[in-house]
Structures are given as C-alpha cells and as structure tokens.
Structure 1
Amino acid sequence: MRYYIITLIIIILDQLTKWSVASSMKLYESKEVIPGFLSITSHRNSGAAWGILEGQMWLFYIVTVIVIGVIIYYMQLYKDSYPWLMVGFAFILGGAIGNFIDRVFLQEVIDFIDVMIFAYDFPIFNIADSALTVGVVLVIVMMLIDEMKNKGKNANE
C-alpha cells in the first residue's frame, strides 16, 4: 500500500505544478530561476519525449493503459520483496498516470522544467517525466543488482 501512496504523491505534485504553471503563465512565457541553468517555461507537448509522435493520442492512450496494467501487475507480484524495485514501479506508475491525465483532459501534456546543460537546451519536461525517468533507472539498477547476485550464487554452486 505504501508504494501506491508514493504514486499518489507523484500524481498530486505533478498535477499541482502543471496547474500552477498553466494558470499563472502565458504559453511560452519563461521565468529564469537559476541564471544560465534552470527556467520555468510554459510549454505544451502533444507528443512523447522530445515531441516525437506528435498528435498520436490514440497510441499514447493504448500504450499508457498497457504500461499501467503491467506495472500494477508487477507491483502486486513483488509487493512483499524488493523495496527499491517497488519504489521504481511507484515512480513509473505515478509518472505514467500524471501525463495520462493531461492527455485525456487536455489532449496535450503541460511541460515547464527548462534546463540548460553546458549550452545544450535540454527538452522541456515536467514532474511526471522526471518520475518516469527516475523509476526506469531504479528498475534497471535493481535488475542489474539482482542479475549480479544470481551470477554470484551460480558461480559458488
């Protein structure tokens, strides 16, 4: 249950920040937070990351519903073990649902975190995108750790 609470916190934080930006800033308006590094920029995206598959909402609906189903299945399967894997799943679930809410109700995703990394203007993203990224990294790391443990066990047998 606690992992679903993490999911809920991510969804609420994502939706509140998006609402705050959408209601207080004009589209494409930008406010610099850390000069030369971080700005809050009101942006909309009707595609996936970096604007790919723009306007393909039907595809995002199908993929998101499948992802949500698979993540919930694995969260139930591993609920009594692998706490960091569960945190990764909770982040992925929260991020997927956060952007899904935007797609269903707005037909686009509200993005606003605008980062400049060594003169590279990274694509604008949001809390849901961040949660998805952190979740995927956690799941991959946990899978690699589990694989190394299993190889160590097999080598000792």
Structure 2
Amino acid sequence: MSPRSTILRAAIVTLAVIVADQLTKALVRAEIDRFEEIELILGIKLVHTRNTGVAFSMLSGGGPLVVIIACVALAALLIFFFTHLRQRLIWLPVGMLLGGAAGNLIDRIRIGAVTDFIDFPYWPAFNVADIGVTFGVIVLIIVLEVNDRRSRT
C-alpha cells in the first residue's frame, strides 16, 4: 500500500472516531443531567460525569498540564506513524489512537474536562474516545507483532 493511501485510511478512521465520540458526548450532555444514572443491563449504566484528569482520573485537576501531555503524546504518535507508513495495517490502530486522543483533547480544550458516560460495575466511567484508545493499543500490538513475525520469515 502506498504511503498516501495509508495516511488517507488513518485519517478516515481518525475522523470516524472523533465524530462518533463527539456526537455521543453531545447527546449525553444534552439528555442526561450531571451525575444522573440510567440503568441499562447487568449493572451497566449511562451516567454523565466529567474527568479533569487522564486515565482513571490520574492528574485530576491538572488543567494545562494534561493538555500539554496529550499534545506531546499526539505528536509522538504522529512521528511513529510517519516513520512506519510501510507497516501493513498500521493505519487502523494509529487512526483509532489519534481519534481517541483527539476526541478527549477536544473536550479538554472546549469544556476543561472530558465527558464520560459508560459505566461498568467496578470500573471508572469512560467514553467512545477511550474505547478508540484502548482498542487502538491492542490492535497496534497485534499489528506490530504480526508484521514482526512476517519480516522474520
């Protein structure tokens, strides 16, 4: 695959994650009061919470520091991506990671905190951007491992 099509595919995935994330967060902010809980099934709830920190509320209240850390992480991911454009399927996890990171960064810049709304029992609330980041990391590990095995054979 050409570098150009790899970049285009990553951009499409990034945009899809950002749009899905921002739409779901806007719906939550419009339809669910802060701290309201709506029971779904098996203890899973929709809630409307805000997180000023990063994963698991670390650095909560960190304000500009959290935004700076997110920007540095995005820059590092972009550098990684552009130095690995020839890696097979690299566009998929990078697009998921970029979209997730950007979705949460948009919230941090616009409202000073990330809107979280999916609440599983015994787990902190999260959102679509967090899903993109989590699955992006998992898929990145798989893609790198598969590509590494192919290059050794």
Task: Please state which band the TM-score falls in when normalised by the shorter chain.
Answer: 0.7 to 0.9
- Letter of the structure 2 residue corresponding to residue 7 of structure 1: T
Residues 98-130 of structure 1, C-alpha deviations (whole Å, 9 max, x = no match): 0000101111110000112xxxx2110000001
Q: Distance in 2 between matches of 1:126 and 1:97?
A: 13
Q: How does 1:51-66 map to 2 (within 5 A)?
A: 51-66=57-72
By how many angstroms is 1:72 displaced? 2.4
Q: Distance in 2 between matches of 1:125 and 1:49?
A: 9
Identity among equivalent pairs (%): 31
Count the aligned residue pairs: 146
1:31 is the counterpart of 2:38: yes
Q: How does 1:1-157 map to 2 (within 5 A)?
A: 1-34=8-41, 36-83=42-89, 85-116=90-121, 121-150=122-151, 152-153=152-153
Unaligned runs of 5+ in 2: 1-7
Question: Contact 2:88 / 2:147 at 8 angstroms: preserved in 1?
Answer: no
Rg comparison, structure with higher value = 1
SS in 1 for 2:49: strand
Residues 122-147 of structure 1, C-alpha deviations (whole Å, 9 max, x = no match): 11000000100000111112222233
By how many angstroms is 1:60 displaced? 1.8
Q: Distance in 2 between matches of 1:76 and 1:51?
A: 30
More strand by share: 1
Q: Distance in 1 between matches of 2:129 and 2:107?
A: 10
- Letter of the structure 1 residue corresponding to residue 147 of structure 2: D
Question: Contact 2:35 / 2:49 at 8 angstroms: preserved in 1?
Answer: yes
Q: Distance in 1 between matches of 2:63 and 2:112?
A: 7
Question: Contact 1:78 / 1:86 at 8 angstroms: preserved in 2?
Answer: no
- Letter of the structure 1 residue corresponding to residue 92 of structure 2: V
**Runs of 4+ residues over 4 Å off in structure 1:** none
TM-score with structure 1 length normalisation? 0.85
